[in-house]
Structure 1
Amino acid sequence: MIAVVVGEFANFIACIYAPAVLVTPLGALSIIVSAVLAHFLLSEKLRRMGILGCVLCIVGSTVIVLHASAEHSLSSVEEI
């Protein structure tokens, strides 16, 4: 439970420094970490569909991050 709270706090902090279009897909990678940890620590079987799901998460997150639009900072009240 502590790890979940710390992870969400870190996700919140990441949203301050990077656009949400980059932070959200990378947050989805926690699914992969959970699957791998469950495989090694809890001796759960990671079958073909689980591995395929992990690969699709990695590919999807990579594609979204690579094609994210650049965000510029607002420098004046007129721009707001």
Structure 2
Amino acid sequence: MDILSKECIATVTLFDLKVSEGELMVFADCLKIVMENYSDSEIADMTVCESKEELSYFLAGVTEVLKEMVRQDYLPDRFKS
């Protein structure tokens, strides 16, 4: 992963990143594991998210990016649905 640029807007830092599909798959898999194995209160204690529902939005975003892979034959089925 490489940082291409960063910008601070109010209290939020926005990053433009160069990330491989492999890295995105790891992120998506980790989000899914957390959602499947921890309660909302555990998620709130361990992350900056408050619930499985909130984490699901991040997972959906990563999954949507993965669906844009050029070589779809390399995209595992778990990301195609």
Q: Normalised by the shorter chain, which TM-score bucket?
A: 0.3 to 0.5
Which of structures 1 and 2 has the larger relative contact order (alpha carbons within 8 angstroms, sep 6+)? Answer: 1
Structure with greater helix share of residues: 1
Q: TM-score, normalised by structure 2?
A: 0.39
TM-score scaled by structure 1?
A: 0.40
Rg (Cα) greater in structure: 1
